[in-house]
Structure 1
Amino acid sequence: MRFPTPRHYLMCPPRYFAVDYTINPWMDPSVPVDPELAMAQWAALRETYRRLGHTVDEIEPQPGLPDMVFAANSGTVIDGRVLGARFRAAQRAAEAEHFRRWFLDHGYRDITMPTRINEAEGDFVWTGRELLAGTGFRTDPEAHAEAQEVLGVPVVSLRLTDPRYYHLDTALFVLSEASDTAPAQLAYYPEAFSPGSRRVLERMFPHAVRADTPDAACLGLNGVCDGCHVVLPAEAERLADQLAELGYEPVPVDVSELRKAGGGPKCCTLEIRK
């Protein structure tokens, strides 16, 4: 049996969502975007979390920052300690300061802004025991050492090699966090990683769920799990079946409009771990 754990999330409404530039292979400014549909899909995701018993806070979106909806890229919070973000793309750089102010305004005082490029939970995935840290397209390798120093947790570096999976959270997510008696369980897409990183994942997580290409291609690995319920894109049907066989409860959501900018459920969801 799987047991859910109440979570605390920070999200940003896609009031100014658009695809006006290209900073990843998913983005094509020539493809029309429906802002109302994006807002409806985001609101359904937020209400899904609340229905599952989780707390959802919201940050006010800012004009001129269409990717601010992807809140996961703007901070990593472990034990109430906040490591902010430093974006590689100039178009997103201003987001980091808005999120820093939100944390200050909500009582967080242990906040560090990085000196190296660090796209937060886009490339940092907490397993409950160690921080898996992606690099290859966005986050600097040197940011991994900075995260270990700031957050005080062990960091394991993983290299991404497929530009479609430009952030770690597009190719891997945690299903159940590590405990005193068991390692974390996760799902990932092996082909997104370098050969050495695949071997690391195989050694650390031999019982991980390995997703296939169609499920990865709909950003099915950009999921959010509370230890029982797995919120993931509706198109990731085979992955959902695999998870159900393991006792998890898949919760499919429609994020097709947000995917036009390369985002899914996790991209929209920054987890606050107090």
Structure 2
Amino acid sequence: VKNCPTMPAPASVLMCPPEHFAASADRVPSEAERNKARGEWDGVRAAFESLGRSVRLLDAAPGLPHMTFTATHSLTGVTPRMEKVCLLGQSKRPSRRGEAERLEAWFRAAGYQVEKPRDPALAFEAGSDCAWHPGRRLLWGAHGFRTDPEAYEPAAEAFEAPVLLLKLVNERFMHLGTCFRPLTPEAVLIMPSAFDPVSLELILKIFPIVLAADEREAAAMLPCGAAVVDGTAILEAGATAAAGHLHAIGLAIRLVETREFLKAGASVAALAANLY
């Protein structure tokens, strides 16, 4: 990792108001649930802004109930020449592919070089299954449930960065954002049972500090769905055990409510795509 070139931190984030959000496509949320989701989203936005990250907005679209999760189908970064790149996701679920189309339009207008998986048959959940190593030009990519391992070759090419692959094996943690959160260049929060032995060994080899989440809390409160901004972790208020672990290694803690979004299997990081 020390030999990997440095990577700048994001300057802002892209969020999408939950105007059409529904935790499940099979059920229309009540007015109270809609209002609660909007209040929680406002709280997440305020947390980013209070930490100096400006928030840019993507318009919500009818018929796309999960579009508020802007990071799911976009992986952003810069090349060694500081060219801004967005690699779009390609979901196995046809109902979510419209999200990538709207993200593509936004990122092109914002001056990003937009890339897509070359093979339309490959599944790639972008920011849900891939994460930058903090401060380094190094990607971590998960496969096993929602992303095909072959999808990481174009990711490595797009960002001109190596990708370390992690195999997910636990159906309670089906994408990387639920079981792996890099916190600092040296520390990571993980759910150990989510990974096969080879992947777990790789994590332990690369990170000097590996924090293990409580499995019940990890599944219910998604502490690995936290976002870290300049030494402060923004995470779900119910993840009290994880908050204690993060505080113990020197991170400041900003607790927010994301209960409505947890019903859809996502939390803070999924709501905010990084911008450079």
On whether the aligned pair clears a TM of 0.5, the verdict is yes
Of 99, 104, 107, the residue aligned with 1:100 is 104
Is it true that 1:119 corresponds to 2:125 in the alignment? yes
List gaps (5 residues or longer) in structure 1.
Answer: 23-28, 179-183
1:247 offset after TM fit, Å?
1.1
**Mean Cα deviation higher: 133-142 or 208-217:** 208-217
Of 19, 22, 33, the residue aligned with 1:18 is 22
Tell me, in whole angstroms, the C-alpha distance in 1 between the residues paired with 2:70 and 2:56.
Answer: 11
Aligned to 2:74: 75
Tell me, in whole angstroms, the C-alpha distance in 2 between the residues paired with 1:211 and 1:31.
Answer: 30
RMSD: 1.7
1:19 offset after TM fit, Å?
3.2
Helix, strand or coil for the counterpart of 1:47?
Answer: helix
Tell me, in whole angstroms, the C-alpha distance in 2 between the residues paired with 1:124 and 1:63.
Answer: 27
Of 249, 254, 257, the residue aligned with 1:254 is 257
Helix, strand or coil for the counterpart of 1:21?
Answer: coil
1:241 offset after TM fit, Å?
0.9
Tell me, in whole angstroms, the C-alpha distance in 2 between the residues paired with 1:166 and 1:43.
Answer: 27
Tell me, in whole angstroms, the C-alpha distance in 2 between the residues paired with 1:260 and 1:111.
Answer: 31
1:222-255: CA deviation from partner (whole Å, max 9, x where unpaired): 0000241100111111111111111111111110
The sequence identity of aligned pairs, in percent, is 31
1:6 offset after TM fit, Å?
6.7
Helix, strand or coil for the counterpart of 1:39?
Answer: helix
1:31 offset after TM fit, Å?
8.4
Q: Point out 4+ residue stretches in structure 1 off by more than 3 angstroms.
A: 19-22, 29-33
Aligned to 2:4: none
Is it true that 1:144 corresponds to 2:147 in the alignment? no
Tell me, in whole angstroms, the C-alpha distance in 2 between the residues paired with 1:210 and 1:120.
Answer: 24
**TM-score, scaled relative to structure 2:** 0.88
Q: Is the 8 A contact 1:6 1:55 kept in 2?
A: no
1:103 offset after TM fit, Å?
0.7
1:40-82: CA deviation from partner (whole Å, max 9, x where unpaired): 1001100111011111111001000000011111211111122
1:111 offset after TM fit, Å?
1.3
